[in-house]
Amino acid sequence: MAHDDIHISVNLERTLELLAPSVGAPGAVLVDGTLGMGGHAEAFLERFPELTLVGIDRDTNALAIAGERLARFADRTHFVHSTNDRIAEVLKKLGIAEVQGILFDLGVSSLQLDDVDRGFSYSKDAPLDMRMDPTSTLTAEKILAEYSEFELRRIFYDYGEEKLAPRYASKIVQRREVEPLTRSSQLNEVIVAATPAAVQRTGHPAKRVFQALRIEVNQELSVIEKAVPAALDSLAVGGRIVVLSFQSLEDRIVKRVFASRSTSTAPAGLPVELPEHKPEFALLVRGAEQASESERADNPRATSVRLRAAERLRRIA
């Protein structure tokens, strides 16, 4: 199966448009902090023949696919198995002081969703794995077997925004005393049985629970909380960053960090803004930009995307 058949890069042209002013110059470096199967990366390398790409991903399977896909650009690419919150460490090892562009395409990838055996989807029976990095040790099965009822309730609330978190956590603990929960079909059975019929009519009741488990397995939000500031710190003056988020918890983190770094630090009432109080970054889009209607029609994954972008104005000494 061709790569484009299994994954259409979201907001590709808009991302190229926003990053072009900073990554089109000779010697520019772009960090793709969520390389995936290399769809965005391929487009940038084709469009900008003097661009160097640093591709970071925690998923070894994705790195292998991207490496094959981008093999013709071998003299302009570096692939790194890591989480993107370690961007400073990655760049230091490569001898790169600062970069001109950064792209984050957050969340679970099409590759991971479509691989049934990895257990990301509540709609297909599979082992309760959910690891983005196959070399890590924490799985959804381990969480369901070992976390206390209180801890389960917390992650369903915090990461799934699930109102029925107490009920689901209680039923899971009861069920695991009878048999271990090792497959998604078992977890679905528990969740569906514990969900009122009226709630079931609003959508699959396990959706938020699966999201919460996935986020906990991969520590996604804690990684993003560190990755976005680290990415901003790695940008050269004039450098730009684009972040694509696919659920509100991710987008809130990005929004908060971008807002804090693009706001003047001048005390209220100061008649003149001193240079040291000027913001480090300028926002490039108003709020969180959604995909166009045509793109949402062509690519269902684009339906929930929220795009934010910023440019570095100055560097604090």
Rounded Cα distance between 113 and 119, Å, is 8
Question: Is 211 assigned to a binding site?
Answer: no
Sheet holding 306-312, edge to edge: 77-81, 52-57, 29-32, 99-105, 235-245, 306-312, 281-283
Show the tokens assigned to 108. Answer: 């679970």
Q: How many CA atoms lie within 13 A of 241 on its CB side?
A: 31
Question: Is 186 assigned to a binding site?
Answer: no
Question: Is 38 assigned to a binding site?
Answer: yes
199 three-class SS: helix
128 three-class SS: coil
Alpha helices in the chain (DSSP H): 3-6, 12-23, 39-47, 60-69, 87-94, 110-114, 140-146, 149-160, 165-176, 184-193, 197-200, 207-218, 220-234, 248-261, 293-298
Rounded Cα distance between 277 and 53, Å, is 33
Show the tokens assigned to 29. Answer: 């470096």
15 three-class SS: helix
Whether the Cβ atoms of residue 243 and residue 100 lie closer than 8 Å to each other: no
Q: CA angle at residue 103 from 98 to 108, to 5 degrees?
A: 135
Question: Is 105 assigned to a binding site?
Answer: yes
Token look-up 């609330």 returns 157
Binding residues are 38-40, 57, 105, 112
Binding residues for S-adenosyl-L-methionine: 38-40, 57, 105, 112
